[in-house]
Amino acid sequence: MDLFEKIKQVTEEINSEVIQNSESLEKFRIKYIGTKGLIKDLMGEMKNIPNERKREFGQVLNEVKNLAEEKWMGLKEKFDQTESSIDKGIDYTAPGYPSSIGTKHPVSIVRDRMIQIFEKIGFSVFEGPEIEDDWHNFTALNTPQDHPSRDMQDTFFITEDKNTVLRTHTSSAQIRAMETQKPPIRIITPGRVFRNETISARAHCSFHQVEGLYIDENVSFADLKQTVYYFAKEMFGSENVRFRPSFFPFTEPSAEMDISCFICDQKGCAVCKGSGWVEIGGCGMVDPNVLKNCNIDSEKYTGFAFGMGVERITMLKYQINDLRLFWENDTRFLKQFVTEG
């Protein structure tokens, strides 16, 4: 058979080959473009072609070689993509593996709930920096340099002159609000605070607060009490709150707020230390000197302020007896909590 006729025959065979899977494709490769394939054999016949036809023979032979290679490459890519998308031995009717997703931290859940409660009665959120100066953290809050009330809080000082500190309360944000806003002011200031305290089951060097401030004409202590009653009812379902006289430099009069221990129904337990009451925060009427420091007319305006520790509220709500659990990042502990609807 003439070699040119043989090439034509091979070309027709390549075009007519029906390849349905990777196995038949491999047989195609071996047959036509393998090291011992038909095209390799035809190339070996080049020595038997007359010199005047060698160029023509080479061109025709390259065409059939390219045809075979293109068919093989195209089908190989097609089969590779198909087979890579099919995992053999998988039961596609079986349920999938559950996704492991994170949950909100209990402190975040309670903080968000506290914000939601106060927003319902007109309070808006105001935030300030965690690194504060002496004026906003102490002096503007009626706490002069030589005042003994500074000893109530051990502070993380950042600079040697003690003018820059990690804020000890979010009351510093209230000062910033009063400096930049005109009454009426009704805000809450959630955030993280820092105090140089020994870490224990009931205390930590870093924790969170939600403080509230209401400045307007004719604001009274009765307004403060009703606000606290409302919060306790919304958060705990109980309005059984008592107020004990206390002292804070920035409020006068001042009080500590206690709520009945619903863990033991006021019968006495470790959480309430046998008293039947648990402290939830401090409060009082804004001292006129604080208003003056912020250029607010203390003859015209009065106001109240309160502050609550978010961790303390969280411990009460979920009956947690060790504050350190909030910082251990133990997923067994954290997964117990869900966001309220």
Q: Is 15 exposed, middle or buried (0-12, 13-18, 19+ CB in 10 A)?
A: exposed
Q: Lowest-confidence range among 7-21, 232-246, 288-302?
A: 7-21
pLDDT digits (tens, 9 = 90+) for 40-62: 887 877 777 888 887 887 888 88
236 shares its domain with 170: yes
pLDDT digits (tens, 9 = 90+) for 138-174: 999 998 777 665 666 678 889 888 889 999 999 999 9
* Number of domains comprising the chain: 2
pLDDT digits (tens, 9 = 90+) for 111-142: 999 999 999 999 999 999 999 999 999 999 99
Structure tokens at 234: 């919304």
65 shares its domain with 142: no
136 shares its domain with 208: yes
Would 181 be classed as within a structural domain?
Answer: yes
Provide the pLDDT for residue 310: 95
Would 339 be classed as within a structural domain?
Answer: no
Would 236 be classed as within a structural domain?
Answer: yes
Torsion of CA 127, 128, 129, 131, to 10 degrees: -130
Would 151 be classed as within a structural domain?
Answer: yes
79 shares its domain with 110: no
Provide the pLDDT for residue 16: 83
Q: Is 14 exposed, middle or buried (0-12, 13-18, 19+ CB in 10 A)?
A: buried
Altogether, the residues listed in the chain come to a count of: 341
C-alpha triplet 146, 147, 151: angle, nearest 5°: 105
CA-based nearest residue to 241, from 227, 221, 223, 220: 227
pLDDT digits (tens, 9 = 90+) for 242-287: 999 999 999 999 999 998 887 777 888 777 788 888 888 999 999 9
280 shares its domain with 248: yes
Q: Containing domain of residue 211, as a range?
A: 106-334
Provide the pLDDT for residue 135: 94
pTM: 0.68
Q: Residue 205 belongs to a domain with what CATH number?
A: 3.30.930.10
Cα separation, 338 vs 322, in Å, equals 19
Cα separation, 322 vs 299, in Å, equals 45
Torsion of CA 127, 133, 138, 139, to 10 degrees: -120
16 shares its domain with 76: yes
54, 84, 114 - which closes a domain: 84
Structure tokens at 156: 């993380």
Would 97 be classed as within a structural domain?
Answer: no
Q: With a cut of 60, say whether residue 1 has pLDDT above it.
A: no
Cα separation, 133 vs 113, in Å, equals 30
33, 49, 84 - which closes a domain: 84
30, 53, 84 - which closes a domain: 84
Provide the pLDDT for residue 296: 96
Residues 325 and 300: beta-carbon distance below 8 Å: no
Scanning the structure block, which residue is given the tokens 């010199």?
A: 51
Provide the pLDDT for residue 151: 61
